[in-house]
Amino acid sequence: MMAALGLSGALLLCACAPGGPVSGQASSNAPTQSAEASACAARGGEMRQVGKLQSWRCVVKYADAGQRCTDKTQCQGDCLADPASRPAPGAPTAGICAADSNTFGCRTTIRDGKANATLCID
């Protein structure tokens, strides 16, 4: 009887031990030599760990980064307000074209010369 209780206790302790990643889940140390990484490189991007969870994403740099804009249609990516200015939603403003495709962080997009609400993505 004591042996059965001891074995039960050992099994319970083992069940609480941390395990490795579940198959099908990407590890934060995922190799960047995959089909996704190859497709990313073909688009001129690079795999980077981004966001709060540091997930691997393809980040493409834009050739028009930093150019003045008043709408997304004038940029390869988004038209963004200067982060220091933080214009109110609906306020007339101009911005600059985004540097790359990374959408994490706080950003105020501009459409038709007016600021949208600031959106923060972790």
What was the pLDDT predicted at 3? 52
Please give the Cα distance from 33 to 31 (Å, whole number). 5
Residue of 19 and 85 predicted with greater confidence: 85
Last residue of a domain, one of 60, 82, 110: 60
**pLDDT > 50? residue 62:** yes
Residues 66 and 48 in one domain: no
Q: Which amino acid is at 29?
A: N
Of 5 and 99, the structure prediction assigns the larger pLDDT to: 99
Give the DSSP letter of residue 73: G
* Same domain for 77 and 113: yes
Task: Let me know how many helices (H) and strands (E) the chain has, helices first.
Answer: 2, 9
Mean pLDDT (whole number) for 94-115? 97
**Is 43 within the bounds of a domain?**
yes
Give the chain's mean pLDDT. 83
The last residue of a domain, from among 15, 39, 60: 60
Sign of the alpha-carbon dihedral angle for 95, 78, 44, 37: positive
* Residue 85 counted as domain residue: yes
The domain in which residue 50 lies consists of 30-60
Distance CA 33, CA 43 (A): 15
Inter-residue contact 90 to 114 (CB < 8 Å): yes
The predicted-structure confidence for 12-60, as pLDDT tens digits, reads as follows 444 444 444 444 444 555 555 789 999 999 999 999 999 999 999 999 9
Looking at residue 1, its pLDDT comes to 47
Q: Is 0.75 surpassed by the pTM of this model?
A: no
